[in-house]
Structure 1
Amino acid sequence: MEINLTGRRALVTGSSQGIGLAIATELARAGATVIVNGRSQDKTDEAAKSITNELPDADVVAIAADLATAEGAAALQAQAGQIDILVNNLGIFGSQPALEISDEEWSRYFEVNVLSAVRLIRMYLPAMMERGWGRIMNIASDSAVVIPIEMVHYGVTKTALLGVSRGFAKVAAGTGVTVNSVIAGPTHTPGVEEFVAELVGDDRPWEEAQRQFMREHRPQSLIQRLIEPNEIGNLIVYLSSDLASATTGGAIRVDGGYVDAILP
């Protein structure tokens, strides 16, 4: 199956590293013009350069903006131009005992993980509906369904994204625009490597630490390994294409079989 996104313009939030960068790279590989985003201009520029180093013909734009604020979202919109494909990947996570999470921390997680996506959907969905084509994907997590006790606040924000996706898919009904959430499973990123070290210690080789983490903290995984970021990017490319025109309002899983349910 060959997917060609030439002529489409994609925005991937939180794409200066990790899953977001992998998604941006795969969209660029498929021919889309890609806007990468992060809070730091230097890191965002580095991300764009890493894509063009791998894909010399890629059309990549780097826009630094803090999308956890309304001001940052407006600044990005002023520079980004038309968007055909919106991937809300921005998110924060971390472990903390549930009874010790403050009101301020709960608010911060909702601002970054949920409201950043809502703002951008409000910005770009109307024009997509007018043009009769658009793709919006909100990157959720297995934690949306299997709430992890070590980061309840993170899991709850990802649960909220499932509802956000379903609600805006109804808003876009019949317009040619699709809105989906993507349930990503435990994924191999630098941030997750740090998270694994927090939970199992950093005094052993990575492969051994990863196996212990999966065995002790993510035993539901059917692939029994961390997912590689490009595997998530591959699903995003498909959902961004005309081939996925009948897939909307869904919670699409690329979780390594982690969620132990038929429906999410």
Structure 2
Amino acid sequence: MKIDLTGKTALVTGSTAGIGYAIALGLAKAGASVVLNGRDKSRTDAAAARLKGEAPGAEVTGIAGDVATAEGCNAIVAALPAVDILVNNAGIFNPQDFFDVPDAEWERFFAVNVMSGVRLSRAYLPGMQAKGWGRVLFLSSESGLNIPVEMIHYGMTKTADLALSRGLAKRMAGMGVTVNAILPGPTLSEGVAEMLAGDVAKTGRPLEEVAADFVKTHRSTSIIQRAATVEEVANLCVYVASPQASATTGAALRVDGGVVDTIA
């Protein structure tokens, strides 16, 4: 299968590092014109320069903007009025006991992990509908199904992303526009590496081994018994964004290493 996204413009939010950057790289290598996004302009510009080096010949730009705010989303849309592919990847996580999470933190998680996708989908879907082609992806998580006791506030937002993507897929019925949710499991992104840095320093063991132990301890239903790579998650996203995935919509597509212990 050869995925060719030549002539398509893709916006990937929260894409200066981690899963978002890997998705942007995969889309660029498939021929899409890719727009990176981050809150900080210098980091966004640096990520765009890096991406150009890793995907020679690709058209890559960066737009800084905080997608957790209406103002930030409006600024992005003003700079980029239309896209063919929208990847709502921006997200935050932080293990914290339910009884220690204040209202402001619940609101912050909802703003970043849910409202960013609401606002940008609302802005870009009408243009996709008018063209009769478009792809919207929400980066949810296996935590949207298996609510983690140590991150209930995070799990709530990822369940909301599932509801949002399914509802929007139905809203776009028959219009040539697909909307899907991607459900990664534990993935060895920069954020996870930072979370595990203390254990790596304490044990002197390689990050991959420490991550595998974390998976076995905290996500014991994992079938692969390790953390996924960001590239493994990105591979599924590139396919879902492609013309070949035209009959896949309204789906919750798992790239969770088998953590969710159900067949369907």
| TM-score of Structure 1 vs Structure 2, range by shorter chain | over 0.9
Separation (CA, whole Å) in 1 of partners of 2:83 and 2:55: 21
CA distance 1:128–1:107, shift in 2 (3 Å): same
**What residue is the counterpart of 1:59 in the other structure?**
59
Matched-pair contact (CA < 8 Å) for 2:19–2:234: yes
Residue 150 of structure 1 corresponds to which residue in structure 2?
Answer: 150
| Structure 1 stretches of 4+ moved >3 Å | none
Deviation, 1:217, is 1.0
**Post-superposition shift, 1:262?**
1.9
Aligned counterparts of 2:200 and 2:110: Cα–Cα separation in 1: 29
Kindly indicate whether the alpha-carbon contact (under 8 Å) linking 1:197 and 1:209 is maintained by their aligned counterparts in 2: no
What's the offset of the Cα at 1:242? 1.1
| CA distance, structure 1, for counterparts of residue 16 and residue 195 of structure 2 | 19
1:113-132 superposed Cα distances (whole Å, 9 cap, x missing partner): 00000000000001111110
In structure 1, the partner of 2:254 is 253
Please list every run of 5 or more consecutive structure 1 residues that lacks an aligned counterpart in the other structure: none
Deviation at 1:196, TM superposition (A): 2.6
Partner of 1:132: 132
Residue 226 of structure 2 is matched in structure 1 by 225
CA displacement, residues 190-220 of structure 1 (integer Å, 9 cap, x when unaligned) = 110122346x564122233223212211211
C-alpha distance in 1, partners of 2:243/2:56? 25
Contact 2:184–2:255, Cα closer than 8 Å, also in 1 = yes
Q: Distance in 1 between matches of 2:215 and 2:258?
A: 13
| Alpha-carbon contact 2:12-2:86 (below 8 Å) kept | yes
Q: Aligned letter for 2:233? A: I
Matches within 5 A, 1:33-112: 33-112=33-112
Q: Distance in 1 between matches of 2:9 and 2:212?
A: 39
Tell me, what secondary structure is at the counterpart of 1:62? strand
Distance 1:94 1:197 in 2: 14
Q: Give the counterpart letter for 2:202 in structure 1.
A: D
Tell which deviates more after alignment, 159-168 or 218-227: 218-227
RMSD of the TM alignment (CA)? 1.1
Matched-pair contact (CA < 8 Å) for 1:202–1:209:
no
Q: Percent identity?
A: 53
- Provide the aligned length of Structure 1 versus Structure 2: 262
3-state secondary structure, aligned to 2:196: helix
Distance 1:207 1:237 in 2: 25
Which amino acid counterpart does residue 223 of structure 2 have in structure 1?
A: L
**Is 1:203 the equivalent of 2:202?**
yes
* Alignment partners' CA distance in 2, 1:208 and 1:123: 42
Which residue in the other structure is 2:8 paired with? 8
1:234 aligns to what SS in structure 2? Answer: helix
1-structure distance, mates of 2:152, 2:231: 27
1:34, distance to aligned residue in structure 2 (A): 0.3
Q: Deviations over 1:65-84 (max 9, x none)?
A: 00100000010011113200
8 Å CA contact retained: 1:181, 1:251:
yes
Deviation at 1:254, TM superposition (A): 0.9
- Quote the residue 1:236 is aligned against: 237
Distance 2:209 2:166 in 1: 39
